[in-house]
Structure 1
Amino acid sequence: MAKLLYITVNPKKDIERSKGRQIGEVFLETFRQEQPDVEIVNWDLFTLDMPQMDEDLLYARAKLSFMGYKLEDLTERERSQITRMHALADEFITFDYFVFVTPIWNLGSPAILKAFLDNLFVAGKTFTYAADGAQGLLTDKKALHIQTRGGIYSTGRMEPLEFGDRFLRSALEFLGMNVMETVYAEGLDHFPKQIPEIMANAKEKAAEAARKMAKETVNQ
């Protein structure tokens, strides 16, 4: 059975108040129609229990990777942090499809997304070091980003200032994932009268992306 991890990055719990979640629900409904047996799990990053990249976690990584320490040599706090990080990465790897639903805040994604991605960069699990540089190991995974934007970032002077989608795509591709074309709804703050049209177009693209992703096989 295929598994899809649906990752929401928005503190708004009510779907009616979150345009990104509304678009995401269209994706999920369409995907279920294409793959009725898929297992879908939602991780809300604002409630997910995950370690932060603090001093203890930094030292734990360094001690285990190149300082010759073993897990039992770490402090209790270091051991707790690194164990949680590896557990999160291990669970993440068990999924086949990934959908990230985020808003753009102040030119980028909410900071909690970066904190989450920090937990996925684990050498030997999600990437490895090769003679010509790092290589991603998640080559059998498919990913999609659904993003809502208050302004216009696809063209014009704001285009080079959009760092949310750009960073997420780069991170996932670094880990080896096949990342689909981003589905976005933009201009939601600039053109409030056009919101119904903007949302309808984004939902249609989300449904198309779901049908395309569902038809792409993964190695299970």
Structure 2
Amino acid sequence: MAKLLYITVNPKNDSKLSKGMQIGEVFLEEFKKHRADVEIEHMHLYDMDIPEIDMDLLYARAKLSFMGKTFDELSEAEQTKYLSMHALADRFIAADYYVFVTPLWNLGAPAILKAFLDNLFLVNKTFTNTHEGPKGLLTNRKALHIQTRGGIYSTGPMVDFEFGDRFLRKALGFLGMELLDTVVAEGMDHFPKQIPEIMEKAKEQAIEAAREMAKESVTV
């Protein structure tokens, strides 16, 4: 059975409080209409114990990749964190469709998203190195980013300062995924009276994105 991994990145794990999750739920409702055959798994990063690259993980990866050590020669802490990293990556790899819902904070995404993505860059598991350069192994997968922004970053002086969507798209593209156009709701802090119109437009975009993602079955 195909799976869609719905990844929310906001301390507000409640659609009543999170505008991004309100848009995300509209996407899911429309997607289900067209692809009832796809299982949907919700992964809320703030409810998870995400391995961070600390001294143990740095040394575990180095020892196994080029220092000639075996897994049994790692310390207990190194083994535990290394296995946790790969378990999270395996859970991610098992999906076929991906939807990320994030806010833009201080020019980028919440730091927990970077910590999460750090677990996915595993040589010969999610990408490999070739003579032509790195090649993503997570092909035939579709991904969408739904992002909320308080300011305006699509036009004007802040265009070059948006690093949340830009980074996520580059990271997922590096891993080999097919990326749909990002659904953006922006300007809500600058134009609070226009929030209903901004949200309605974003929800319409989410519906179109759901239809687009549902068009073709992916074959992982």
Matched, 1:45 2:45: yes
Matched, 1:75 2:84: no
Q: CA deviation at 1:124?
A: 0.9
Unaligned runs of 5+ in 1: none
Number of equivalent positions: 220
Q: Name the counterpart of 1:167.
A: 167
Q: Name the counterpart of 2:218.
A: 218
Q: Where do 4+ consecutive residues of structure 1 move more than 6 Å?
A: none
Counterpart AA for 2:107: L
Q: Name the counterpart of 1:142.
A: 142
Matched, 1:36 2:36: yes
Q: Name the counterpart of 2:26.
A: 26
Unaligned runs of 5+ in 2: none
Identity of aligned residues (%): 67
Matched, 1:155 2:155: yes
Distance 1:106 1:113 in 2: 14
Q: CA deviation at 1:50?
A: 1.9
Match of 2:203, SS? Answer: helix
Counterpart AA for 1:128: T
Match of 2:6, SS? Answer: strand
Match of 2:157, SS? Answer: coil
Counterpart AA for 1:139: T
Q: CA deviation at 1:119?
A: 0.2
- Contact 2:96–2:141 (CA under 8 A) maintained in structure 1: yes
The RMSD of aligned alpha carbons is 0.7
Counterpart AA for 1:125: K
Q: Name the counterpart of 2:10.
A: 10
Distance 1:206 1:14 in 2: 18
Q: CA deviation at 1:29?
A: 0.3
TM-score (normalised: structure 2): 0.98
Alignment of 1:64-103 (within 5 A): 64-103=64-103
Match of 1:157, SS? Answer: helix
Match of 2:106, SS? Answer: coil
Q: CA deviation at 1:129?
A: 0.7
Q: CA deviation at 1:3?
A: 0.3
Counterpart AA for 1:133: G
The Cα offsets for residues 21-73 of structure 1, whole Å up to 9 and x where unpaired, read as: 00000000000000112100000000112211111001111111111111101
Alignment of 1:124-143 (within 5 A): 124-143=124-143
Q: CA deviation at 1:149?
A: 0.2
The Cα offsets for residues 189-213 of structure 1, whole Å up to 9 and x where unpaired, read as: 0000000000000000001000100
Q: CA deviation at 1:216?
A: 2.1
Q: CA deviation at 1:77?
A: 0.4
Q: Name the counterpart of 1:203.
A: 203
TM-score (normalised: structure 1): 0.98
Match of 2:184, SS? Answer: strand
Distance 1:189 1:128 in 2: 42
Distance 2:196 2:121 in 1: 39
The Cα offsets for residues 68-119 of structure 1, whole Å up to 9 and x where unpaired, read as: 1111010000011111101111111110000000000000000000000000
Q: CA deviation at 1:215?
A: 0.8
Match of 2:40, SS? Answer: strand
Counterpart AA for 1:26: V
